[in-house]
Structure 1
């Protein structure tokens, strides 16, 4: 009981100041070259917590403070909501395809948590949202202090088409708490979410991340785990060419991380 109380207290304190890192961020104007290489406009925040680093770095601090729709990066907290609400049991539960043909072929089949996260299967999370409901979603968002915590929407999905918005700095704050199992959710649920976020791994590192795309802008957020500590990142860019711009998200982040030796080349 005492352990649970201490855990909840630490989670509360962590969530009370989710974006303190922005006060100490070091500007990296030289990272402009990575955006220019892909003819992209955007921002990136990197919080390097490896033992010999311990710095928060940013390209375009002003934009990093601006809130945007989280789009499919919201699948990270949304999965926590679904697990907590009992909408999904575990990573093995199957979600039967509804037979509606969608533009992305990988969505036109049964899904589980891992595939829904990997392929960003929106229809699975639309089902979660329907079962959770707006009132409970609002409570969860407030509990997390997630961006503006507003799930209101006139039409469509609130994490894409609604008022919900979050900044790159706030994404970093949320990811740090998830990494430390410091969110106000069951630890086993936080560990499961981190497991289904794995993109790739090497002998001594793991990359956990999620893309997002709202139509006009796109995200890539996550972290690289090393024995010496994690390196968190949150990038967003404008996508005037829509799908033709989507590859730029990961390419820019990878280029930045490689300059920090935070990702193998």
Structure 2
């Protein structure tokens, strides 16, 4: 698809009130870590709710959401009654996984923090594809397609979402505007807390498909939220994963959405 067409699609997908600016200077933040990717940042602290983007063509492309899908998936599981609350324990079956944090009993909180795939695999099995598809269509989540030949549909299947679509979804969650119970939306936002200081709260979720990785979320300030959605290629696999957060934090600091690194 031509570059201009992709960029126009990106602009059309943004909130109508947002002024959009391409940040070519942010390329340096990717280059210093030898990373290729995109980031969309929507700053609602500004009067015109400015949206900044690095690599707008890629920001319009859809990728597997990987573990960023745990945000809507948790809402779906709560709504379907697959999980009662944040205190329910999911017993580990003893099967060893490469990440030690997966090799133990889990709750919603630990499953979100550790990205425990086997917990969410159980949710997917209990919800079933027809109901998952209905949820996704109701959410207007990416291409809303949970079909998969083998593996997990949010990693190995057809489900895909763009960085710009991630931003729209996060805005709705922030405002409790998703088609789920208010208390469930508030719980999921609590599970997403990564860091909290006196004047700001960072809520986010990582994702990794193997070939590329995500970090999406927002920073809450008294003046308003700052939403972000980053994805990068990960040719060096796990060795590249730190770049997701490193690049995002560096970029957020350029607009004072996070304090300077100590």
TM-score, normalising length: structure 1: 0.92
3-state secondary structure, aligned to 1:125? helix
Partners of 1:22 and 1:169 within 8 A in 2: no
3-state secondary structure, aligned to 2:92? coil
3-state secondary structure, aligned to 2:228? strand
CA distance in 2, matches of 1:112, 1:58: 36
Q: Which residue of 2 aligns with 1:173?
A: 168
CA distance in 1, matches of 2:46, 2:159: 35
CA distance in 2, matches of 1:256, 1:53: 20
Taking the TM superposition and a 5 Å limit, the aligned residue runs for 1:101-120 are: 101-120=96-115
Q: Which residue of 2 aligns with 1:257?
A: 252
What is the RMSD of the two structures over their aligned residues, measured on CA atoms?
Answer: 1.4
Q: Deviations over 1:28-72 (max 9, x none)?
A: 000000000100000000000014562000000000000000000
CA distance in 2, matches of 1:120, 1:193: 14
3-state secondary structure, aligned to 2:28? helix
Partners of 2:193 and 2:202 within 8 A in 1: yes
3-state secondary structure, aligned to 1:225? strand
CA distance in 2, matches of 1:168, 1:56: 12
1:37 aligns with 2:32: yes
CA distance in 1, matches of 2:20, 2:62: 17
1:87 aligns with 2:94: no
Change (3 A) 1:114 1:18: farther
Partners of 2:207 and 2:213 within 8 A in 1: yes
Change (3 A) 1:226 1:235: same
Q: Which runs of 5+ in 1 are unaligned?
A: 1-16
Query: Of the candidates 192, 204, 217, which is equivalent to residue 222 of structure 1?
Result: 217
Change (3 A) 1:21 1:198: farther
Q: Deviations over 1:190-218 (max 9, x none)?
A: 00000000001100100000000000000
CA distance in 2, matches of 1:21, 1:262: 22
Q: Which runs of 5+ in 2 are unaligned?
A: 1-11
1:183 aligns with 2:173: no
How many residues align structurally?
249
Partners of 1:79 and 1:193 within 8 A in 2: yes
CA distance in 2, matches of 1:22, 1:146: 21
Query: Of the candidates 154, 157, 168, which is equivalent to residue 152 of structure 2?
Result: 157
Taking the TM superposition and a 5 Å limit, the aligned residue runs for 1:9-28 are: 19-20=14-15, 24-28=19-23
Alpha-carbon deviation of 1:21?
5.9
Q: Which residue of 2 aligns with 1:10?
A: none
CA distance in 2, matches of 1:21, 1:121: 37
Alpha-carbon deviation of 1:20?
3.1
Q: Deviations over 1:148-169 (max 9, x none)?
A: 0000000000000000000000
Partners of 1:22 and 1:56 within 8 A in 2: no
1:69 aligns with 2:64: yes
3-state secondary structure, aligned to 1:20? coil
TM-score, normalising length: structure 2: 0.93
